[in-house]
Structure 1
Amino acid sequence: MGCTSSMPNKMYNVGKKKNKKRKLNIPEVVVFVSSLSLPGETNLQRALRGLLPRHLVDRLSGLRSQIMILAEDTGGLAFNELQRALEEYLPVLIGLVNKEFSLDQTVDFKWKNLQDGRQEICIASSWFELLSVVNMMAILSMSEANSLLIPKDGLDVAERTVSEDCKKDAIDLLIKASGYLDFCVQCILVQMPPDIKAKLPTDLQEEFLGAVSFQVLGQGTEMQLGLAVENQKATLSVKRRLACEQLKYFAQAAAYFYHGLILDKGKEPSCHITAVCCFLAADELLTDSKKANLSFCVASPVTRALQALPDLPDFSLSLRADDYVLPEMDPAWNDEKWEAQLQTLKEHLNDSVDEPENE
């Protein structure tokens, strides 16, 4: 994988001139996590004035602001609190993508990525907002899994251990994250028109989301294999099957291996800097891997195969993503009184547009 061998708080000097070099901190990583995006300032009251009841607009705005403030204050590390806030926001947000209300392109939703200097992305699409929210839930699940697998004792990497319960909880979180990502690809992106899709950032494109979904399942299988290796009761056939499944997942997640290249495609200078750091870290890991491979190759063939290895058996994948389903739309959207008011307002707005033309 590479991630399992990453070093904690690795520092890299980036820049050509000595007096202009920047030191970047590459945090310890066990689970690959996409860069986190946070909601930006969006004036829902102005965009939805006259189209929705005041109390519903205030609720939408309040829930979104709660997510924004919580994420800003904690840097996205308050996993449980943020997940609850996002789950509370979703039922109210779903009304904006409901075709019955025709509000899909009413609001310019803004999001900012923590990795590229907080550059804002603004797209007038409620589907973009829904995609960003569900994707954020996936990233939080991956981040929480990563935190469970990094011991807090501060010991040397070789001496630290992670409990079996933490590993199992991390696997469950990865399966959940994969479910969120699959839902983004299969149920949200398909609703977007091509012009909106073209505006999406790299980490919300279909190919990237699909690759990360396969990759987190591969990492979950890798942890299952680790648990099987540590379990004396696990048979060799079980370990072999898990190893084969792991390779199959990684083969389908090619974008993971080219993460540095993906980052380097970003338009911001910080994307290029981060990509360089990824390449430097990958080069160090590759060097260590070559040393380990060389020591194995020169060893006496006691257990090493003397002849060419046979092709791996083609097992069906056993670890699958959770099936994620959106919650029910908030009951406030089904209030008959304001629905009649909304229809009247729409007719009034249409009449206002037609009047200048008639004159």
Structure 2
Amino acid sequence: MGCLVSTPRVSGGIRSKPGKVGEIVVFVPGLRIPKPIDFSQPLGDALSKSLIERLSALRTRIVVMAGQEEPMSAKPRRTATQHGGSSLADLQQALEDYLPVLLGLVQNGIHLQHMLQFVWANQEDYAEETAMSNSWYQVLSVLHLMAMLSLSQANTLLLPKKTADSYQSKVSEESRRASVDIFLKAAGYLDFAVQHVLPQFPPELRKDLPLDLAEGVLQALSLQALGHAATVQVMIEDA
């Protein structure tokens, strides 16, 4: 004995209601974190003491906070792409405080661009370490970290959670709307990196950049962020 599904008929054939978009999981590459650096020695009298101290304090704060973030490969499978919520937001704020100061140094102090060696390591494999005496490399690395933290924040918002009035885990509309803004922010960081920072590197230096900072990788991550933003927006409208 068979079963029949009743579907409303309209002129021109059968119209079925589009299926809802399911929950999504965000791919977040391992974080690249900075290593300590002493600003005072290489810069000497090139900058004021107060500016050197500010740069040093901001970057040291980032180094310490980034070092406290647990590698994603060490996290439980259920939250494999999730970093700590509040600590992650604090690190993002520290980067937002540091970036304008760093950009001012790079854009207004051209002669200082090659006086410092910046070292960043892949959190998943500390042997994968890249050092460059180029301030634009620092800017690029900061933007990449800000984008990865944004993707991780968005993913955290999209993890189903139990509510007081429900036994089932679900994602609230508020969290979905917040994740859309964060996805767009991540895409903006990556697009700025591709359009305005990478062109500052001579071709021979671009070849020495780690794979995570390659133009194609940054573009792919930006498209992923935009795609997720569009998908979540559809989920909101379809709810």
Q: TM-score range by the shorter chain?
A: 0.7 to 0.9
Q: Which amino acid aligns with 1:98?
A: Q
Q: Which residues in structure 2 correspond to 1:285-296 (within 5 Å)?
A: none
2:231 is equivalent to residue 222 of structure 1: yes
CA deviation after TM superposition for structure 1 residue 152, in Å: 4.2
> 1:83 & 1:73 partners in 2: Cα distance?
13
CA deviation after TM superposition for structure 1 residue 160, in Å: 2.3
Partner in structure 2 of residue 70 of structure 1: 65
> 1:74 & 1:206 partners in 2: Cα distance?
26
> 2:214 & 2:36 partners in 1: Cα distance?
23
> 1:178 & 1:66 partners in 2: Cα distance?
25
2:64 is equivalent to residue 55 of structure 1: no
> 1:211 & 1:41 partners in 2: Cα distance?
30
Indicate conservation of the 8 Å contact 2:35/2:120, yes or no: yes
User: Secondary structure of 2:53's partner?
Assistant: helix
CA deviation after TM superposition for structure 1 residue 100, in Å: 4.6
Partner in structure 2 of residue 41 of structure 1: 36
User: Secondary structure of 1:106's partner?
Assistant: coil
Partner in structure 2 of residue 115 of structure 1: 124
* Aligned-residue identity in percent: 40
Partner in structure 1 of residue 141 of structure 2: 132
Partner in structure 2 of residue 323 of structure 1: none
Indicate conservation of the 8 Å contact 1:123/1:196, yes or no: no
> 2:220 & 2:110 partners in 1: Cα distance?
34
Higher relative CO (CA 8 A, sep ≥ 6), structure 1 or 2? 2
> Could you report, residue by residue, the CA deviation over 1:62-120 in whole angstroms, capped at 9, with x for unpaired residues?
11000111121244632221122112112221233125541111110011111223532
Indicate conservation of the 8 Å contact 1:174/1:217, yes or no: yes
CA deviation after TM superposition for structure 1 residue 171, in Å: 1.0
> Could you report, residue by residue, the CA deviation over 1:319-355 in whole angstroms, capped at 9, with x for unpaired residues?
xxxxxxxxxxxxxxxxxxxxxxxxxxxxxxxxxxxxx
Indicate conservation of the 8 Å contact 2:161/2:171, yes or no: no
> 1:100 & 1:136 partners in 2: Cα distance?
24
TM-score, normalised relative to structure 2: 0.77
Q: Which amino acid aligns with 2:121?
A: K
CA deviation after TM superposition for structure 1 residue 34, in Å: 2.3
Of 96, 107, 127, the match for 1:87: 96
> 2:176 & 2:223 partners in 1: Cα distance?
19
- Aligned residue pairs: how many? 201
User: Secondary structure of 2:131's partner?
Assistant: strand
Q: Which amino acid aligns with 1:178?
A: A
Q: Which residues in structure 2 correspond to 1:90-109 (within 5 Å)?
A: 90-98=99-107, 100-109=109-118
CA deviation after TM superposition for structure 1 residue 128, in Å: 0.4
> 2:144 & 2:228 partners in 1: Cα distance?
18
CA deviation after TM superposition for structure 1 residue 211, in Å: 0.9
Structure 1 residues 47 and 152, CA, compared in 2 at 3 Å: closer, same or farther?
A: farther
Indicate conservation of the 8 Å contact 1:40/1:120, yes or no: no
> Could you report, residue by residue, the CA deviation over 1:285-342 in whole angstroms, capped at 9, with x for unpaired residues?
xxxxxxxxxxxxxxxxxxxxxxxxxxxxxxxxxxxxxxxxxxxxxxxxxxxxxxxxxx
> 1:134 & 1:225 partners in 2: Cα distance?
28
Structure 1 residues 99 and 194, CA, compared in 2 at 3 Å: closer, same or farther?
A: farther
CA deviation after TM superposition for structure 1 residue 56, in Å: 1.6
Indicate conservation of the 8 Å contact 2:161/2:170, yes or no: no
2:217 is equivalent to residue 208 of structure 1: yes
Partner in structure 2 of residue 236 of structure 1: none
User: Secondary structure of 2:170's partner?
Assistant: coil
TM-score, normalised relative to structure 1: 0.52
Flag structure 1 segments of 5+ consecutive residues without an equivalent.
6-28, 231-359
Q: Which residues in structure 2 correspond to 1:1-359 (within 5 Å)?
A: 30-75=25-70, 77=84, 78-98=87-107, 100-117=109-126, 119-153=128-162, 159-230=168-239
> Could you report, residue by residue, the CA deviation over 1:185-207 in whole angstroms, capped at 9, with x for unpaired residues?
00100111122211111111111
User: Secondary structure of 1:102's partner?
Assistant: helix
Indicate conservation of the 8 Å contact 2:161/2:169, yes or no: no
Structure 1 residues 62 and 123, CA, compared in 2 at 3 Å: closer, same or farther?
A: same
